[in-house]
Structure 1
Amino acid sequence: MTAPIETTGSAAEAQPEAVLTGVKQSQIEGRSLGQIAWTRFKRDKVAVAGGIVVILLILLAVLSKPIQAFFGLDPNEFHQDLIDPALLAPKGDWGGMSWSHPLGVEPQYGRDIMTRIIEGSWVSLVVAVGATLLSVVIGVFFGVVSGFYGGWVDTVISRMMDTFLAFPLLLFAISISAALQDGAFGLEGLPLRIAVLIFVIGFFSWPYMGRIVRAQTMSLRNREFVEAARSLGARGPFILFRELLPNLVAPILVYSTLLIPSNILFEAGLSYLGVGIAPPQASWGGMLTNAIDFYRNDPMYMIVPGVAIFVTVLAFNLLGDGLRDALDPRSK
């Protein structure tokens, strides 16, 4: 049998802390969940690029009026001298592109396309973000209540979701928008149209968010932290808003970023059909509508707003996918 090795001196008295001699405490600090998610997100270069584009689009929409005022731009200014009267198309190549009009001018009237793209950006984002916020608020409330309480409450709310999903949303939006064009609720003109679009799109699309939140709530309501809150005497409202909602932030945020581009496309579609944003107010969907009659003589008039919609939708989708991967604790 091997005798135990005797140690003397400093070696025998060495403490575990000696292993970390010279190592600063800040180097072994843990990371929060937010820091971990941010690290994951930064690794996804495609999602970061999408986020940068989204930030630039938001800045463009917020600063559209100051930009136009600073450079003296007018989205409704006519340039008839740049239009060929025989073809009603811009003179020159590529839709009349020049240093004065980098994206060309529109047919028939000669209005600057770049200025109208800038003007239309805030309309599309205001409608999309407003409708998304409305649908998120309604969907989260009914979804978390339905998933937490269950029973007859879940049955009633679930059937209400099915009823809303059964509505032909496009036809209903067309009829409501057409019926309220003249004035309603003390509003008229552009504010009325924006308010109607936000209400129609947001109010009738909340069941999609509601179903996602309901499923997530049902998976969380029997977890240990919820049982611990119950054992301490917490009631339903406290558990809903202090325990469950913080754990639902990730799926709500991810789905919201994916819902915004869908609402942008829906607003563009309504404007395309003539029941969205009325001229002369610029909107990307309205520009596509006007381009139908001139796409043979001036294809750039259709390409430019189409690319603007495509880039915006793609950027939000890439950002949403990146956030989903970053906030998913099972991601590697």
Structure 2
Amino acid sequence: MTAPIETTGSAAEAQPEAVLTGAKQSQIEGRSLGQIAWARFKRDKLAVAGGVVVLLLVLLAVLAKPIQWVFGLDPNAFNQDLIDPALLAPKGAWGGMSWDHPLGVDPQFGRDILARIIEGSWVSLLVAGGATVLSVVIGVVMGIVAGFYGGWVDTVISRMMDTFLAFPLLLFAISLSATLQDGAFGLSGLPLRISVLIFVIGFFSWPYMGRIVRAQTMSLRNREFVEAARSLGARGPFILFRELLPNLVAPILVYATLLIPTNILFEAGLSYLGVGIAPPQASWGGMLTTAVDTYQADPQYMFVPGLAIFITVLAFNLLGDGLRDALDPRSK
């Protein structure tokens, strides 16, 4: 009988093949929906660029007054010595551009264009942002109520939406703005005009948001999580604002970013027609109005505010498109 073969300790304690010497152990971690959306958004370079431009524009609007104070910019300072009285145009080439006036001066009073662009940024973004918030709040509430309850509630709200959509918004805005020029509701001057523009644009634009929210709510109201909330005794308001509304954040956010540039153009159009922001307060639409009258003498004066509106609208549209793709669960 042969003796058993003795094995050394190292041979008996051999490691399994699954464990490799020097290999690093890594734990697989799941990603939340927000992390997935952020990863998708970062891959879209145009959307990221649009978001950066939007952030810079918001900072410019918020810090407009401090920037003017630090650099000594006065949007209403007259510089008649920079205007050629014979041609009624800025002296020098390129609209009077110089180190003191990098974008030149306007052909009427010699006011610095850069200072007026900065001053007009907070006016345009305030009106567009305020109108967007008002329309989103009304549209979300009306849309989610109509889509969830249905029946006669849906019929009444839907017909109300159709009425607002058929309303001649431009004519109403012109007539209301012209009527309330002197004062109303304890307001006058620039605060009154900004409030009227926010009310007119926002109050008559909510059906666009309302129809989107209504359609999304109708597709969600019979889902399992809503039925589970009902089975636990949850009432209508709880289901609306605690169960359905969080699932509507993505379409609301996307459409809000696409609604802001529309409101910017609407405010610029009203100022262009003379019923928006009144001079001497600077606004991009008001600058375009002046540029039309002086186009032949100084074409550059139309180019600068037009380019500001173009960049702002394009940036918001790129951001909205990127958010739509990033928040869409069906996108890859």
Q: What is the TM-score normalised by the length of structure 2?
A: 0.94
1:1-332 to 2 correspondences below 5 Å: 22-25=24-27, 28-332=28-332
SS of the equivalent of 1:304 reads helix
Distance 1:30 1:253, change over 3 A: same
Instruction: Decide which moves more: 311-320 or 234-243.
Output: 234-243
Give how far 1:24 is off: 3.1
CA drift at 1:108: 2.0
Residues of 2 paired with 1:219 and 1:23: CA distance? 44
TM-score of the superposition, structure 1-length normalised? Answer: 0.94
Q: Deviations over 1:168-210 (max 9, x none)?
A: 0000000000000000000000000000000000000000000
Distance 2:214 2:133 in 1: 18
Deviation, 1:92, is 1.1
Residue in structure 1 matched with residue 3 of structure 2 by the alignment: none
Cα distance, 1:30 vs. partner?
Answer: 0.8
1:135 counterpart letter in structure 2: S
1:200-239: CA deviation from partner (whole Å, max 9, x where unpaired): 0000000000000000000111111111111222111111
**What is the CA-CA distance between 1:142 and the residue it aligns to?**
0.3
Amino acid at match of 1:288: L
Alpha-carbon offset, residue 73 of structure 1: 1.1
The alpha carbon displacement at 1:44 in A equals: 0.3
1:304-332 Cα deviation digits (max 9, x unpaired) = 00000000000000000000000001011
Q: How many angstroms does 1:15 deviate by? A: 11
Instruction: Determine which structure has more spread, i.e. the larger CA radius of gyration.
Output: 2
2:7 is matched with which residue?
none
Give the superposition deviation at 1:22: 3.4
Quick one: distance in 2 between partners of 1:278 and 1:17? 76
Q: Determine the C-alpha separation between the residues in 2 that align with 1:15 and 1:145.
A: 61
Task: Give, in whole Å, the separation in 2 of the partners of 1:18 and 1:208.
Answer: 60
Deviation track 1:1-29 (CA, whole Å, cap 9, x = no partner) reads xxxxxxxx879x9699999x73133xx11
Distance 1:238 1:194 in 2: 35
For these two proteins, the number of residue pairs brought into alignment is: 321
Taking only the aligned residue pairs, the percentage that are identical comes to: 84
Q: Match of 2:73, SS?
A: coil
Amino acid at match of 1:86: A
List, as ranges, runs of 4+ consecutive aligned residues in structure 1 with deviation greater than 4 Å.
Answer: 13-19
Q: Which runs of 5+ in 1 are unaligned?
A: 1-8
CA RMSD of the aligned region, Å? Answer: 1.8
Q: Which amino acid aligns with 2:99?
A: W
